Amino acid sequence: MSTALIVLAAGKGTRMKSDLPKVLHPIAGAPMLVHALRAGATLDPARIAVVTGHGAESVEAAALEHDEDIRCVRQEQQLGTAHAVAQARSALDGHDGDALVLYGDTPFIQPETLERMIEARRTHDVVVLGFEAADPGRYGRLVMQGETLERIVEFKDASDQEKAVTFCNSGVIAADSQTLFQLIDAVGNDNASGEYYLTDIIAIARNRGLGATAIACDEAETLGVNSRAELASAEALFQSRARQNAFDDGVMMQAPATVHFAFDTVIGPDTQIEPNVVFGPGVTVENGAHIRAFSHLEGCHVARGAVVGPYARLRPGAELAEDVRVGNFVEIKNAVLEQGAKVNHLTYIGDADLGEGCNIGAGTVTCNYDGVMKHRTAIGAGAFIGSGTMLVAPVTVGGGALIGSGSVITRDVPDGALAISRAHQEIKPGFAQKFFDALRKKKDMRNKGSS
């Protein structure tokens, strides 16, 4: 049976003290909303509805950027969670299967947990996700009778006996989609907040003779983010998990607490990662690569045996083949470096194609931008580019060619050719001493005039 997702993302998040909608605040380089969508995606949902409200246009843009098939619906008035879910009715019209309600500000629910919820749906009409809370605080309480969930009680409406319950509500609910909306139609707002609580559907379901249960997950999965401090805690939790997963996958980190992963970082076994490395979104590093200290990578691919850094920056579109060397204070952007290419020092390579085994000297720059358009530089296999070379694109340097240090190359260089382009050097004996003497005299006169 197919599953549909309803992701609630309408809240303002006033405690964030931000103009940015709460669900768009990033964790590991991706909005919280995307984390929730990625977890739900493991169920291969037939439909996904995102309910927006505050900052609707921005939230909808982020959702559609992640998945253009998402259906966005708006909750114009903030009248509670049941009211929010009701807005998704049109998006799920005709859907024959389960509906799973998730939250855009609860980014850590694991795919395995959602799969257990769907499995429980085979024997129960409504399934709720709960957790044993170390500090139940103001969470809603799950009142159980054996495996049966009798009701959910909001903290502000709970009796003292109900407040003593430590099994708490995450808000995540699964039910047949038609059943879900029928139950929501019966929800009222006779409560302390005057809102339509999604949690009320449990008591309604039980009164109608429907079966309800709750399954438990680790409390950390249900972490909701409502403030800057909680956002920082969520980031720390993500990074801790990512580092452990990297170790489990055979990655070595000497100082793991200083390595920062993105939500989609992929690192192969036997990769060495030195301290203070940052992975932005879109990075894949193959087996046996070596990422040295203080390097920053985003939107790039690093093949087996490549070495990056220290203090290197790989920007989007950087493609490093096997055994490539990218050294200290080198920046690579939108460039392909074929096997064994070396760019070891103080160099910018942008919009370029470097052939196998070519060697790029220190201080080389591919001058790729003319103020309006970007242009590519092509360097053939085995070419040697001397230090301090400016390659003014569009330009091609042939295979096995040699560029003299300090050259400005504006024309194509054939295979195996030597190219040197330098200004004529003049030497004027004694001029330097006379020049500095004149400057010092001028400086002395200026100092006397100001005293």
pLDDT value, residue 338: 98
Nearest to 268 by CA among 223, 304, 225: 304
Tokens of 192: 């302390």
Percentage with pLDDT > 70 across the chain: 100
Does one domain contain both 23 and 98?
A: yes
Same domain as 113, residue 254: no
Is there a domain that residue 451 lies in? no
> Does residue 191 carry a pLDDT above 80?
no
Q: Is the pLDDT of residue 449 over 90?
A: no
The verdict on 182 and 51 lying in the same domain is yes
CA atoms of 349 and 390, how far apart (whole Å): 11
Which residues, in sequence order, are bridge partners of residue 27? 30
Q: Are residues 109 and 190 in the same domain?
A: yes
User: In this model, does residue 427 exceed pLDDT 70?
Assistant: yes
- The answer to the question of residue 139 being in a domain is yes
> One of 290, 345, 375, 424 is an active-site residue; which one?
345
Q: Which pLDDT score, from 0 to 100, does residue 355 have? A: 98
pTM of the full structure: 0.89
* Number of Cβ atoms within 10 Å of the Cβ of 438: 10
CATH number of the domain that residue 260 is part of: 2.160.10.10
Q: Which of 95, 94, 83, 104 is nearest to 11 (CA)?
A: 104
Q: Is residue 436 part of a domain?
A: no
In this prediction, residue 303 has a pLDDT band, given cuts at 50, 70 and 90, of very high
CATH number assigned to the domain comprising residue 36: 3.90.550.10
Residue 441 lies in a domain: no
Check whether residue 23 and residue 167 sit in a common domain: yes
Residue 431 near residue 404 (C-beta atoms within 8 A): no
Report yes or no on 38 lying in a domain.
Answer: yes
**Domain end point (choices 222, 254, 288):** 222
Alpha carbon distance 309, 345 (integer Å): 9
Same domain for 92 and 235, yes or no, is no
What are residue 175's DSSP bridge partners? 99, 126
Between β-strands 342-354 and 359-360, what pairing exists: parallel, antiparallel or unpaired?
A: parallel
* Distance of alpha carbon 178 from alpha carbon 89, whole angstroms: 9
- My answer on whether 85 and 161 are in the same domain is yes
The pair phi, psi for residue 116, each rounded to 5°, is: -65, -35
Q: Give the integer Cα–Cα distance in Å for 383 and 401.
A: 5
Q: Mark which of 222, 239, 268 sits at the end of a domain.
A: 222
What does the pLDDT look like over 120-179, one tens digit per residue? 999 999 999 999 999 998 899 999 999 999 989 888 888 999 999 999 999 999 999 999
Residues 67-105 have pLDDT tens digits of 999 999 999 998 999 999 999 999 999 999 999 999 999
Contact 252, 267 (CB under 8 A): no
Determine the Cα–Cα distance for residues 322 and 339; give it in Å rounded to an integer: 5
Shared domain for 263 and 194, answered yes or no, is no
Say whether both 211 and 244 belong to one domain. Answer: no
With bands split at pLDDT 50, 70 and 90, how would you rate the model's confidence at 305? very high
pLDDT digits (tens, 9 = 90+) for 370-394: 999 999 999 999 999 999 999 999 9
Beta bridge partners, 77, equal: none
322 has a pLDDT exceeding 90 = yes
CB distance 95 to 71 below 8 Å: no
Reply yes or no on whether 345 is catalytic: yes
CA distances from 77 to 18, 22, 81, 118 (A): 20, 17, 11, 30
pLDDT for position 340: 98
- The residue from 187, 222, 257 where one domain ends is 222
Q: Structural domain tally of the chain?
A: 2
Q: Report residue 451's pLDDT band, with 50, 70 and 90 as the boundaries.
A: low
Whether 70 and 186 map to the same domain: the answer is yes
Residue 200 and residue 251 in one domain: no
Looking at the fold, whether 31 and 142 belong to one and the same domain comes out as yes
In a domain, residue 450? The reply is no
- Owning domain of residue 283: 228-419
